[in-house]
Amino acid sequence: MAAEFVARGADLELVGIRKEFPGFVAIEDLDLKIPAGEFFALLGPSGCGKTTTLRLVAGLDSPTKGKILIGNKDVTADKPHERPVNTVFQNYALFPHMSVVENVAFGLKQRKVSDPMPKAVDALKLVELEHLAQRRPQQLSGGQQQRVALARALVNRPSLLLLDEPLGALDLKLRRQMQVELKAIQMEVGLTFLHVTHDQEEAMDMADTVAVMNKGRIEQMGAPEALYERPKTIFVSKFLGQSNLFVGDVAESNADSVSINVAGNKITVPTKRAEKTTGKIVIGVRPEKATFHEDQAPEASSGLNVIGPGKIIDIRFTGVSNQYLIEVPQIGNITVFAQNVGKSPVTELGAKVWVSWKVEHSFGLSDLPVDNGEGK
Amino acid sequence: MSRFSLGKYLLPTYTVLAFVFLMIPIAYTFVFSFNDPFKNTTGWQGFTFDNWTGVCNNIDVCLAFGNSVLIATTATTVSTILGTMLAIAVTRYEFKFRSSTNLLLFLPLATPEVVMGAGLAAQFLNAGIPKGIGTVIVAHILFTLSFVVVTVKARIATLDPKLEEAGRDLYAPPIRVFTKITLPLLLPGIMAASLLAFALSFDDYIITAFNSGTEVTFPKYVFAAAVRGIPPEANVIGSAVFFFAIALVLVFQIGGAMRAKSLAKKN
């Protein structure tokens, strides 16, 4: 059944894209290549230019400069209805004056494809909604509308499917469920998906490749695990998960490791995980990679970074983990996540602790904090 | 002992009285459309169906009525089309002088009819255009246009631009996005606007009086006739128009209710 919809997805290539709106620049200079069949996520805060990028690809806006290629064909000057691209809009944008099946058949009818109605019903089967074909969109729940929007786009077998925060209007539970379904459908139909979202969990969960966008530029791009384990900029380290960051001048540097001095503490990062090895640099660690020790400092060794002593100033219970905020004089606050496995190391505020983590879990960033102040 | 409740007695009484007051002229018109026109007076002469069966025996009433229908239909058609296009332009497109256009569209709503009627009459005179049905139609298009724009604009405000974008995205060229998506979704607003324009045009007296020359419209006829007592045929037409309007509203209401019911049933 699903084979009906299998089409060879096409490569998408953006070359030197710039988009200016009156008064501001939405996208500065964007180069991007998405291979056919990939699930690609554009992740960023609101206003970072990700939705603008999507609209440029759909043809709903035109770039100020640059080229858009779909399957090696330049479509920059093509109108939206001439592009082999379909969009699942943020609030679905289902036509309220048509039934569900008419909505799905709309694109087929516009292209004068034969037997639009049976094909539309097949697409509804793919999203398991064929029993609601005659309803009006406003009679469906949010999750069902979302699936209709997906069917309406997929039925056209576009080379490229654009998803503009398609799960943003759903509640958390439904969102997680739709993530799984969406990913399954993408694998089944083998189309190229370009998914725009501000939800980092959603992006990491579904995408093969994630591009983190900030202020109209792509900060970093890669597989979700690589981005998380090895962020390269302060923005990425904080937007994708949380990070403890430490700023200091490089004290030692060799082929294996780079160390900085932060208020008398030596913090080391493997050279192959550092973007910069000279001058002032930022070294970070994820809160779940760090642990803390009560009463006495852990034994110093070359494989361990140790900071302290500090004191616990906040404890938060979040279910799967406890989050501890530790204040270290002259350094600032450090966040540590501890798995909630029944033996939390410390449960009281004000306890004196040392924080440690393995050197191989450090990462060195390429930029410096703007205010150049606190380590956090 | 409950205290005297304002809402319990006073409000219903007041409401009933208000409705009676509103309905008296209509009831009067309807009752007197059955008056035997033995003498042309305002008093009750006796019951008859003659006025309804032979409404065009008084040919002047019917000619005036025909003129009014012709004027209102033509003016409404033109102002609905122009007004809808204007409303879409000022809400959806960026262009030079957009805000001034918006302001100018509101001016006729605020202008006293006497001023607009007299101004138009002077213009037609200066331009050497003879007054007649044509000048009345032009005048009516002018003053109903603003009402159409305002009504249709209100409907456009509720229309999500994403729907039109979805249409473009789904391979519909601009003209078909308009006919398949924009127009069907605006239709209730356009219908309401054209009904309003028709009603305004049909019973307009002041602007018409300035610009119609010797042509007689229904309001002009009734106004002139009222001096000697209104002929029963005028009452017949007045009643008929009233019931036609009521029927139209009922059809819309029942249609809407039935659609809502069938939607609810499918749920």
What CATH number should be reported for the domain holding residue B86? 1.10.3720.10
Q: Inter-chain contact A96–B185, Cβ cutoff 8 Å?
A: yes
Q: What is the pLDDT of residue B232?
A: 79
Task: Give A139's contacts in chain B (Cβ within 8 Å).
Answer: 263, 266-267
Residue type present at position A370? V
Residue with the bigger pLDDT between A124 and B225: it is A124
The structure tokens listed for B41 are 């007076």
B170:A135 CB<8 A:
no
Cβ A139–B266 below 8 Å, yes or no? yes
Q: Bridge-partner residues for A214, per DSSP? A: A217
The 10s digit of each residue's pLDDT in A265-294 is 889 999 999 998 889 999 999 999 998 888
Of B171, B173, B181, the CB nearest to A95: B181
Q: Between chains, do A152 and B170 touch, taking CB under 8 Å as contact?
A: yes
CB-based contact B162 A93, cutoff 8 Å? yes
- Give tens-digit pLDDT for A25-79: 999 999 999 999 899 999 999 889 999 999 999 999 999 999 999 988 999 999 9
pLDDT of residue A347: 65
A182, two tokens: 């969406």
Percent of chain A whose pLDDT exceeds 90: 59
Residue-range definition of the domain harbouring residue B179:
60-230
What pLDDT score does A376 carry? 42
Per-residue confidence (pLDDT) for residue B130, from 0 to 100: 92
pLDDT at residue B266 is higher than 70: no
Mean pLDDT of chain A: 88
Distance CA(A150)–CA(A144), nearest Å, equals: 10
ipTM rounded to 2 decimals:
0.81
Q: Which residue of B has its CA nearest to A85?
A: B169
Name the more confident of A223 and B36: A223
Does pLDDT of A221 surpass 90? yes
CB A32 within 8 A of CB A197: no
Mind listing the pLDDT tens digit for each residue in B53-82?
A: 877 877 888 899 999 999 999 999 999 999
What value does the mean pLDDT take over residues A90-113? 94
Best to test chain A binding among B159, B168, B171 (most A CBs inside 10 Å)? B171
Q: Do B169 and A60 touch (CB under 8 A)?
A: yes
Q: CA separation (Å) from B51 to A4, A51, B13, B239, B240?
A: 71, 69, 36, 12, 12
Q: Residue B41 has what pLDDT?
A: 56
d(CA B23, CA B29) in angstroms, rounded, equals 10
Choose, out of B164, B169, B259, B261, the residue to mutate when testing the contact with A (most A CBs < 10 Å). Answer: B169
| Chain-chain contact of B162 with A97 (C-beta, under 8 angstroms) | no
Interface contact A59-B184, CB threshold 8 A: no
pTM of the model: 0.79
Rounded average pLDDT over A86-100: 93
Give residues 106 to 145 of A whose Cβ lies within 8 Å of B: 106-107, 110-111, 134-136, 139
Q: What is the pLDDT of residue B264?
A: 61
Element (DSSP H or E) covering residue B225: helix B218-225
Average pLDDT over every residue of B152-166: 93
Q: In this complex, do B172 and A79 lie within 8 Å of one another by their Cβ atoms?
A: no
Which CATH architecture fits A242-365? Beta Barrel (2.40)
Asked whether residue B85 is assigned to any structural domain, the reply reads yes
The C-alpha atoms of residue A23 and residue A42 are separated, in whole angstroms, by 24
List the single residue in A93, A136, A152 with the smallest CB-CB distance to B165.
A93
Of A154, A160, A197, the closest CA to residue A179 belongs to A197
Tokens of A170: 């759903």
Residues of B in contact with A85 (CB under 8 A): 169
- Using the predicted structure, report yes or no on whether residue A5 has a pLDDT greater than 70: no
| Cβ-proximal residues to A252 (8 Å cutoff; 6+ apart), any chain | A258, A259
**How many angstroms from the chain centroid is the CA of residue B225?**
23
Residue bearing the bigger pLDDT, A375 or B164: B164
CA distances from A89 to A168, A228, B161, B260 (A): 10, 28, 12, 27
Q: Is residue B207 part of a domain?
A: yes
Categorize the per-residue pLDDT at A374 as very low, low, confident or very high, splitting at 50, 70 and 90: very low
Q: CB–CB of A156/A81 below 8 Å?
A: no
Q: How far apart are CA A101 and CA A119, in angstroms?
A: 10
Say whether A60 and B165 touch across the interface (CB within 8 A).
yes
Looking at the complex, report in whole angstroms how far the Cα of residue A245 sits from the nearest Cα belonging to chain B. 42
Per residue in A290-327, pLDDT tens? 988 887 777 777 789 999 789 899 988 888 888 999 99
pLDDT (0 to 100) of residue B124: 93
Predicted pLDDT of residue A343: 60
Min Cα–Cα distance to chain A from B38, Å: 57
Per-domain residue ranges for chain A? 2-229, 242-365
- Interface A–B counts its CB contacts (< 8 A) at 63
Mean pLDDT of chain B: 87
Q: Does domain A2-229 have CATH number 3.40.50.970?
A: no
Q: Among partner residues A60, A97, A139, which is closest to B184 by beta-carbon distance?
A: A97
Which A positions 84-103 lie with beta carbon below 8 A of chain B?
85-87, 89-91, 93-97
In a domain, B265, yes or no: no
The average pLDDT across B227-231 equals 77
Angle of helix B98-110 relative to helix B133-157, nearest 10 degrees? 120
On whether any CB of chain B is under 8 Å from the CB of A21, the answer is: no
Could you give the CA distance from residue A358 to residue A353 in angstroms, rounded to a whole number? 17
Q: How far is CA A133 from the centre of its chain?
A: 34
User: How large a percentage of chain A has pLDDT more than 70?
Assistant: 94
Across the interface, do A86 and B185 touch by the CB < 8 Å criterion? no
Number of domains in chain B: 1
Mean pLDDT (whole number) for B166-179: 95
- From A60, A91, A110, residue closest to B170, measured CB to CB: A110
- Asked if the structure places residue B6 within a domain, the reply is no
CA-CA distance, A126 to A154, in Å (whole number)?
A: 9
- Does any domain span residue B125? yes
